[in-house]
Amino acid sequence: MTAHKLHNMLVKKEISCTDIAKSVLSRIEQVEVKTNSYIRVEKEKMIEEASMVDKYIGKGGTVKDFTGIPIAIKDNICTKYITTTCASKILESYVPVYNATVIEKLINQKYVLTGKANMDEFAMGSSNENSYFGSVKNPWNIERVPGGSSGGPAAAAASGEAICSIGSDTGGSIRQPASLCGIVGFKPTYGRVSRYGLVAFASSLDQIGPLTRDMEDCAGLLNVICGYDENDSTSINRKTPDFKSFLKDDVNNMKIGVPKELMVKEIDKEVKSAVNKVLMKLEEMGAKIEEISLPNLEYALSVYYIIAPSEASSNLSRFDGVRYGYRNREAKTLREMYKKSRAEGFGDEVKRRIMIGTYCLSAGYYDAYYEKAQKVRTLIIDDFKDAFKKYDVLISPTSPTTAFKIGEKLENPLTMYLSDICTIPVNLAGLPAVSIPIGLSSGENLPIGLQVIGDILREDNVLKAAYNIEKAVGFGRKPDNL
Amino acid sequence: MKKIKKEDVKHVAKLAALDFSEDELRKFTIQLDKILDHVAKISEVNTEEVSPTSHVIEIKNVFRNDIVKKSISKEDALKNAPEVMGGGFKVPKID
């Protein structure tokens, strides 16, 4: 059930928060062994918190949006006194002494934490196979990946192990798993949501956002988590609008561009045709649709795999076994301790990215790789700027394929990286974008997702378009064979 | 672009404070070569007179008034440390 439906039932006193928590908990007990969505489930705390919220409501306390709603939090978002591992051995026993700003905001609403959701180590991956705590399985078919890096948050929300989830998106890490798991995933404009307390991967690209079962919960969670924060110097100091107010039936005369660079040969035929069907429906509803070209998007993947690893190599240098995290105890000298702690604490994909990043930033290569990538990033941003002079939103597939098989792309990092060709350009330009489910594949019954991209701070257009697509498609399916 | 050799990987590993076995070195040499060869595609783009982007939104230095605020306690700061001595982080001999 969605959070807004449960909210209405709570307001009418048809259900208690304890009832909701118990039902989510029993779902977790039933399917967690199959999905592995969580690194840590907060069983007792969930019931405790829910009963406290019940008491608060009993005394006449206001039922705000998400009051008493069980929400899963990706394990790279700091929760005070609750282990935050980033799915890495190096942070296996790290206990934050503070809450991330988004957590403080959720606490203000009196949410209920279900647990810390599984993910690719340090959010690096597109399949959730890079977790020290084991792969997450797709609730639609447990032989397939849920996508990544927010595979746990997506699988939890899709399987009913949480009502909704909070994830993070650096190159598609909210939208791609949402697409593969048949739910809604939103990446807000860079700077809309405070990154304070989000363990940094690539600081110029990272953004926190919601994974939900429908657009109304998506807009509701955006209302809660967005806003200026003095603890994040990249946070945008703008008033947060009421995102729910954009969920209106109105796409008449909406101008929609379809970038041909995101409809390339790598996209599955079935995915393409599902997207095209939706475009036809939008046209019937009065939207104006045109194919456009953003020529520099062709280079987005390359730019991303220079910039993101470069920033990561710098951000992850803090994990040195001194102040927190895993330490090799045998090392005799400081330097040896650094090397061994990091070699034993990080997984292969994380090491790969640290290596790529270090190489691209190193003397002699900086200009050819890092600086060049920053320049091409400017060209990609300019392409988007030009497009948004003419169009309200852009539409593309979210992921080139439906959920692929576990192990299928693990041996070839480059093929894995291609999973994010449609989502990566959005992060490079800092734009808001959502993935919404638009259907199931014919043979395997796996979800297909569509991406709506908006201009900087124009979440309004994204929400409006996505809400109308949601209504026109009427997806409303849940994985039913778990 | 130049082909990545095992010696390059060794050098970068040193810069990154990482440690690889021979097997890992072999694997990473092949993988990094492939990835770096792919991303080198950007060299074909003309970027003359294009300025680099480090952040998508305009960022200014954020200043606040110099007023002492409460920060985390020493106890909390040391809570996650692998080894502590005399109220500080203990490390092996500095070489």
Set of chain A residues whose Cβ sits within 8 Å of the Cβ of B47: 372, 375-376, 379
Active site residue A74: yes
Q: CA-CA distance, A93 to A39, in Å (whole number)?
A: 12
A321/B53 Cβ within 8 A = no
Residue B61: band (very low, low, confident or very high) from pLDDT cuts 50, 70, 90: confident
To the nearest whole angstrom, how far is the Cα of B45 from the nearest Cα of chain A?
7
How do the pLDDT tens digits run along chain A, 482 residues long? Answer: 999 999 999 999 999 999 999 999 999 999 999 999 999 999 999 999 999 999 999 999 999 999 999 999 999 999 999 999 999 999 999 999 999 999 999 999 999 999 999 999 999 999 999 999 999 999 999 999 999 999 999 999 999 999 999 999 999 999 999 999 999 999 999 999 999 999 999 999 999 999 999 999 999 999 999 999 999 999 999 899 999 999 998 899 999 999 999 999 899 999 999 999 999 999 999 999 999 999 999 999 999 999 999 999 999 999 999 999 999 999 999 999 999 999 999 999 999 999 999 999 999 999 999 999 999 999 999 999 999 999 999 999 999 999 999 999 988 888 899 999 999 999 999 999 999 999 999 989 999 999 999 999 999 999 999 999 999 999 988 998 88
A233/B17 Cβ within 8 A = no
In B, minimum Cα distance to A345 occurs at: B18
What ipTM describes this predicted complex?
Answer: 0.95
A204/B51 Cβ within 8 A = no
Q: What is the DSSP letter of A393?
A: E
To the nearest whole angstrom, how far is the Cα of A94 from the nearest Cα of chain B?
6
pLDDT at B47 over 90: yes
Partner residue facing A375 (CB), from B19, B47, B94? B47
Q: How many CB pairs under 8 A join A and B?
A: 171
A376/B45 Cβ within 8 A = yes
- A236 interfaces chain B, CB cutoff of 8 Å: yes
pLDDT at B31 over 90: yes
Task: Determine whether A411 is exposed, middle or buried from the number of CB atoms within 10 Å of its CB (0-12, 13-18, 19+).
Answer: exposed
Q: Which fold has domain B6-43?
A: Histone, subunit A (1.10.20)
* pLDDT per residue as tens digits for the range A328-362: 999 999 999 999 999 999 999 999 999 999 999 99
Set of chain B residues whose Cβ sits within 8 Å of the Cβ of A351: 18, 28
Structure tokens at A72: 């899963």
B88 CB-side CA count, 13 A: 3
Partner residue facing B82 (CB), from A98, A321, A371? A321
Average pLDDT over residues B35-61: 91
- A351 interfaces chain B, CB cutoff of 8 Å: yes
Largest CA-CA distance found in chain B, in angstroms, rounded: 57
B12/A358 Cβ within 8 A = yes
Set of chain B residues whose Cβ sits within 8 Å of the Cβ of A430: 56-57
Give the A window 157-176 contacts with B, CB below 8 Å. Answer: none
Cβ–Cβ under 8 Å, residues B1 and A364:
no
Residue B68: band (very low, low, confident or very high) from pLDDT cuts 50, 70, 90: very high
pLDDT at B58 over 80: no
What is the number of other CB atoms lying within 10 angstroms of the CB of residue A66? Answer: 26
To the nearest whole angstrom, how far is the Cα of B29 from the nearest Cα of chain A?
10
Q: What is the pLDDT of residue A97?
A: 97
Give the A window 253-312 contacts with B, CB below 8 Å. Answer: 296, 299, 301-303, 305-306
Q: CA-CA distance, A479 to A112, in Å (whole number)?
A: 24
| A293 CB-near residues (< 8 Å, 6+ apart) | A259, A260, A261
To the nearest whole angstrom, how far is the Cα of B82 from the nearest Cα of chain A?
6
A379/B50 Cβ within 8 A = yes
* Structural domains of chain A in order of their starting residue, each with its CATH number: 1-482 (3.90.1300.10)
Pick the catalytic residue from A127, A149, A396, A399.
A149
pLDDT at B59 over 80: no
Partner residue facing B82 (CB), from A327, A374, A428? A327
Q: CA-CA distance, A173 to A420, in Å (whole number)?
A: 9
Query: Distance of CA B58 to CAs A204, A233, A236, B73, Å?
Result: 12, 11, 9, 34
* pLDDT per residue as tens digits for the range A395-448: 999 999 999 999 999 888 888 999 999 999 999 999 999 999 999 999 899 999
Q: What is the pLDDT of residue A411?
A: 86
Name the pTM for this structure. Answer: 0.97
pLDDT at B1 over 70: no
B16/A354 Cβ within 8 A = yes
Partner residue facing A413 (CB), from B31, B51, B76? B31
Q: Can you list the alpha helix ranges (DSSP code H) found in A299-347? A: 300-315, 334-345
A339/B47 Cβ within 8 A = no
- Strands of A285-382 (E only): list them: 288-292
Pick the catalytic residue from A16, A74, A131, A179.
A74
